[in-house]
Chains A and B, each alone.
Chain A
Amino acid sequence: MATISFRDATRVYPGADRPAVDKLNLEIGDGEFMVLVGPSGCGKTTSLRMLAGLEEVNSGSIWIGDRDVTHLPPKDRDIAMVFQNYALYPHMTVADNMGFALKMQNVPKDERERRVAAAADLLGLKDFLARKPKALSGGQRQRVAMGRAIVREPQVFLMDEPLSNLDAKLRVQTRTQIASLQNKLGVTTVYVTHDQVEAMTMGNRVAVLKDGLLQQVDTPMALYDKPVNVFVAGFIGSPAMNLLTGTVTEGGVRVGDYVVPVPRDTLAKAGDETTLIIGIRPENFTIADDGISLEVSVVEETGADGYVYGTLVGDEQADGTAGQQLVARVSTRQSPQMGSVVKLAARDADAVHVFSEKTQNRL
């Protein structure tokens, strides 16, 4: 068990004009499941590999527990990279398939058997241990693969997009199993993914990265409720949060012909900025008597709720906010006609996120 600490950890690839990971500061708690997420090129995989010892750390340091591992070779870091690319060996029992690497490391037989039995218990594979892996399902094979990492009993698990080569069904199934296993084992885990659903459903906390810079690290709920900037606001959630540009006015921010109410102290933080970005998630809209006018272009019904897509109506000349695209979730009972204009208001004050246009940060 161990904590992990990135301290100003930086990786610059030779010839690159900006760091792949730029002064990363991240504290991961003992037993925590930390997910690194972000678009391609954000530095998430590089960060994980710096921790694993596969990428150099050009400046700053990385600690596992109270050990500075910045310059330690990978094998001395007591970490296990978990792979979902595995081969199951047909002539070996499931037990040997899980424990063979321990044999290579000269772990005594009793100890090997103890670890394999414990892992099998955890993975629901006890009845399979003496069998050959012949007729195992895709899910069972994944569990054997996880067992291989578990029996090593490392201080830290590292997982680099482990589900990316699985089909959708197996991915969903394995995702749930990894999260619950990690919870039971309590081994500190760092998990890299580009998939926000994976990030938001698996991690205790999620670190969002972009262009080598850490944007926000928080619990999934906090990321969802209080994104620190426009990038995180737009990255987390699907369909994405509506981000509308508006002008500061008395009592709020004018978007089209409607003033979205914004508390006075929030507006005060804008200083002399007159243009702000208003963020409202699709599910936080409600059809109201007064609100943002939306000309409906598509209605997508998905059960009890539907999504309404459309264009903001307003006086283009007056404020330039018209023409912005918007999506809102509405009850199918209220579902509007295509081509009609509906008025949308935020469900409550908490549903309105306000960002500076200049800094893109939350006010």
Chain B
Amino acid sequence: MPRFLSSRPDSRLIPLPWGTPLAEWPTEHLVALPRGLSRHVVRFIRVGESVYAAKEIVEPVALHEYRLLQDLTRLGTPAVEPLAVVTQRHRADGRELESVLITRHLQFSLPYRSLFSVGVRQDTVSRLVDAMVVLLARLHLIGFMWRDVSLSNILFRRDAGEFAAYLVDAETGEMHADLTTGQREHDLSIAVTNLFGDFSDLQAGGMLDPSLDPLQLVETIETRYRELWSELTGVEEFPERELDRIEGRVRRLNALGFDVAELDISTAGKTIRIQPKVVDAGHHSRRLMRLTGLDTEENQARRLLNDLDTYRARNNLQGTDEAVAAHQWLATSFEPVVNAIPKDLMGKRDPAQIYHEVLDYRWYQSQRERREVPLTEAVHGYIDDVLTSLPDEELSADSVTLIQPDDAQALVNPYDPSQGYVDDEETPYDPWEDDAGENATEPAVLDLDTLRRLRGPKN
């Protein structure tokens, strides 16, 4: 009988065919959602309305990743949420199967393959790059060394006009109290190499905008990471008369979406030296959450907060307590827009994203018609002109079409893009595979005879 380790068990998972290798699961349990490449067998499994990602992997690694993802979730880092590890799996004939790590599918998430398969504009790629850089820096701030940054290991979510990046794969990750410069540099160099490979692959598959160059892209990532890191943690020294630079630094960090929890300020003679010691991401989303209870991405929060400020100005509420004004805004602006969206279109975008897009829509319409278009009018225009024609981004079984756009090659296995694309070539003979046969097993004992046998003539 398989064993389930879970902090939030979902009993519907228990009757699933755990005695069958994931690769052989009946398709009735599976959903072919777009996703990145993986070394292991990964499948999206569906139970009732919920969709989970399941990865087959050796037990110690599964447990390690489960615990790391729990830590990351607890620390509020953008990462997929772990649900369970299934161990002690056996086939009907008693043969052992690897463990399975189960994570919750991230709603409204977009793996890069689905973003790129439809052709991506240059500025979109630039935003994706920014999102990745922010994710890497946030992970490094909490002492997480990823050791396997790649496009396949990241999910993107729309975040107003930007993207928010989420960590999907923590298999090789490690949590430290602090990262040394060497560890960060190492992580960055893995990221740069992997991403260069990812972009080159997209290029080879005709999925990268021809104006983009993989080398330039990874150079941008390196530069932006260093700039962000130095803004987040760097020492700044200035003369005493420029004291406003302290506030300037805090404001710059806020603008980047970070709160400064501890700023180290020291003086030596007439020189001031400042260095942020503890910075937390989520400056705007925390503020919006506090005011309205809305849980959004950082840039969505920034946009909504801006709208809230405008709302206060327009309705003469500057003197009113911010929380009271926020409550009114929620009831008279945000909720009517979201409630106006027909139920069958709610799967296209999450509510905060819809609100952001309605604001954009209203602005363009107002410019065009040289009048101030009311929100209620704009939302209907948005539904008819924009939302209806958008693809569903909440998962659904139909999303399988996203994996294979019309002009793309067919995947060998729609449930597993890692197996590559169909072609007619025959596999060449490989003598190395002959002696890699079934007799490759661990020795039961390690004594002198075994040692001699395994080491062969090099004794």
Given contacts A87-B37, A132-B421, A139-B436, contact A52 B446 (CB under 8 A): no
Given contacts A124-B430, A134-B421, contact A52 B186 (CB under 8 A): yes
Q: Are A137 and B433 in contact (CB under 8 A)?
A: yes
Q: Are A96 and B204 in contact (CB under 8 A)?
A: yes
Q: Across the interface, which residues of B come within 8 angstroms of A283, CB to CB?
A: 447-449
Residues of chain B from 140 to 197 with CB closer than 8 A to chain A in the complex: 147-148, 150, 152, 171-172, 177-178, 180-183, 185-186, 189-190, 192-194, 196-197
Size category of the A interface is 35 or more
**Contact of A297 with B by CB under 8 A:** no
**Contact of A314 with B by CB under 8 A:** no
Q: Mark A1-29, 1 if CB is under 8 A from B, else 0.
A: 00000000000011100000000000000
Q: Are B37 and A201 in contact (CB under 8 A)?
A: no
Q: Across the interface, which residues of B come within 8 angstroms of A124, CB to CB?
A: 430-432
Q: Mark A60-77, 1 if CB is under 8 A from B, else 0.
A: 000000000000011100
CA separation between A54 and B444, bound complex, in Å?
36
CA separation between A22 and B155, bound complex, in Å?
42
Q: Are A165 and B57 in contact (CB under 8 A)?
A: yes
CA separation between A139 and B435, bound complex, in Å?
11
Q: Are A100 and B441 in contact (CB under 8 A)?
A: no
Residues of chain A from 220 to 253 with CB closer than 8 A to chain B in the complex: 220-221, 224, 236-239
Of all chain A residues, the one with the shortest Cβ separation from B205 is A91
CA separation between A287 and B150, bound complex, in Å?
59
**Contact of B417 with A by CB under 8 A:** yes
Contact of B447 among A53, A89, A171, A281 (CB under 8 A): A281
**Contact of B442 with A by CB under 8 A:** yes
**Contact of B98 with A by CB under 8 A:** yes
Q: Across the interface, which residues of A come within 8 angstroms of B215, CB to CB?
A: 103-104
Please indicate which of the listed interface residues B182, B192, B448 has the most CB atoms of chain A within 10 Å of its own CB: B182
**Contact of B16 with A by CB under 8 A:** no
Q: Are A197 and B442 in contact (CB under 8 A)?
A: yes
Q: Across the interface, which residues of B come within 8 angstroms of A164, CB to CB?
A: 58, 60-61
Given contacts A89-B198, A91-B202, contact A56 B39 (CB under 8 A): no
Q: Across the interface, which residues of B come within 8 angstroms of A96, CB to CB?
A: 200, 204
**Contact of B313 with A by CB under 8 A:** no
Given contacts A14-B177, A104-B215, A239-B445, contact A90 B420 (CB under 8 A): yes
**Contact of B451 with A by CB under 8 A:** yes
Q: Are A172 and B442 in contact (CB under 8 A)?
A: yes
Residues of chain B from 373 to 432 with CB closer than 8 A to chain A in the complex: 412, 417-421, 423, 425, 427-432
Contact of A168 among B172, B442, B444 (CB under 8 A): B442
Q: Are A132 and B447 in contact (CB under 8 A)?
A: no
Given contacts A90-B201, A101-B196, contact A85 B148 (CB under 8 A): yes
Of all chain A residues, the one with the shortest Cβ separation from B172 is A85
Of all chain A residues, the one with the shortest Cβ separation from B428 is A127
Chain B contributes a number of interface residues (CB within 8 A of A) equal to: 70
Of all chain A residues, the one with the shortest Cβ separation from B432 is A124
CA separation between A104 and B37, bound complex, in Å?
21
**Contact of B459 with A by CB under 8 A:** yes
Interchain nearest-CB distance for B349 vs A (Å): 30
Q: Mark B433-459, 1 if CB is under 8 A from A, else 0.
A: 100101011111111110100110011
Contact of A55 among B182, B200, B444 (CB under 8 A): B182
**Contact of B218 with A by CB under 8 A:** yes
Q: Mark A119-154, 1 if CB is under 8 A from B, else 0.
A: 000011001100111110101110100000000000
Q: Mark B208-225, 1 if CB is under 8 A from A, else 0.
A: 000000110010000000
Q: Are A282 and B425 in contact (CB under 8 A)?
A: no
Of all chain B residues, the one with the shortest Cβ separation from A89 is B201
Of all chain A residues, the one with the shortest Cβ separation from B422 is A134
Interchain nearest-CB distance for A64 vs B (Å): 15
**Contact of A92 with B by CB under 8 A:** yes
**Contact of A112 with B by CB under 8 A:** no
Residues of chain B from 94 to 114 with CB closer than 8 A to chain A in the complex: 98
Q: Across the interface, which residues of A come within 8 angstroms of B152, CB to CB?
A: 87
Interchain nearest-CB distance for B254 vs A (Å): 30
CA separation between A177 and B20, bound complex, in Å?
30
Of all chain B residues, the one with the shortest Cβ separation from A81 is B186
Q: Are A139 and B432 in contact (CB under 8 A)?
A: yes
Q: Are B458 and A221 in contact (CB under 8 A)?
A: no
Q: Are B37 and A173 in contact (CB under 8 A)?
A: no
CA separation between A143 and B430, bound complex, in Å?
12
Contact of A200 among B147, B200, B446 (CB under 8 A): B446
Q: Are B185 and A74 in contact (CB under 8 A)?
A: yes
Q: Are A220 and B202 in contact (CB under 8 A)?
A: no
Given contacts A85-B171, A96-B200, A166-B58, contact A173 B436 (CB under 8 A): yes
Q: Across the interface, which residues of A come within 8 angstroms of B60, CB to CB?
A: 164
Q: Are A220 and B449 in contact (CB under 8 A)?
A: no
Given contacts A87-B152, A127-B428, contact A173 B204 (CB under 8 A): no
Contact of A133 among B202, B420, B440, B442 (CB under 8 A): B420
CA separation between A14 and B419, bound complex, in Å?
45
Q: Across the interface, which residues of B come within 8 angstroms of A141, CB to CB?
A: 39
Of all chain A residues, the one with the shortest Cβ separation from B425 is A131
Q: Are A88 and B37 in contact (CB under 8 A)?
A: yes
Given contacts A92-B201, A134-B420, A134-B423, contact A54 B180 (CB under 8 A): yes
Of all chain A residues, the one with the shortest Cβ separation from B218 is A104
Q: Are A54 and B183 in contact (CB under 8 A)?
A: yes
**Contact of A325 with B by CB under 8 A:** no
Of all chain A residues, the one with the shortest Cβ separation from B440 is A172
CA separation between A302 and B447, bound complex, in Å?
14
CA separation between A75 and B425, bound complex, in Å?
40
Please indicate which of the listed interface residues B58, B189, B432 has the most CB atoms of chain A within 10 Å of its own CB: B432
Q: Across the interface, which residues of A come within 8 angstroms of B447, CB to CB?
A: 237-238, 281-283, 329
Residues of chain A from 152 to 201 with CB closer than 8 A to chain B in the complex: 164-169, 171-173, 176-177, 183, 196-197, 200-201
Interchain nearest-CB distance for A303 vs B (Å): 9
A14-B177, A87-B37, A239-B445 given. 9 additional CB < 8 A pairs?
A55-B182, A85-B147, A87-B39, A101-B197, A103-B200, A127-B430, A141-B39, A165-B39, A196-B446
Interface, chain A (partner B; CB < 8 A): 13-15, 49, 52-56, 73-75, 81, 83, 85-92, 96-97, 100-101, 103-104, 123-124, 127-128, 131-135, 137, 139-141, 143, 164-169, 171-173, 176-177, 183, 196-197, 200-201, 220-221, 224, 236-239, 281-283, 302, 329
Interface, chain B (partner A; CB < 8 A): 37-39, 57-58, 60-61, 98, 147-148, 150, 152, 171-172, 177-178, 180-183, 185-186, 189-190, 192-194, 196-198, 200-202, 204-205, 214-215, 218, 412, 417-421, 423, 425, 427-433, 436, 438, 440-449, 451, 454-455, 458-459
5 pairs, A vs B, C-beta closer than 8 Å: A15-B177, A87-B38, A92-B201, A101-B193, A127-B430
The 8 closest A-B CB pairs, nearest first, are A134-B420, A89-B201, A91-B205, A127-B428, A91-B204, A90-B420, A172-B440, A238-B446
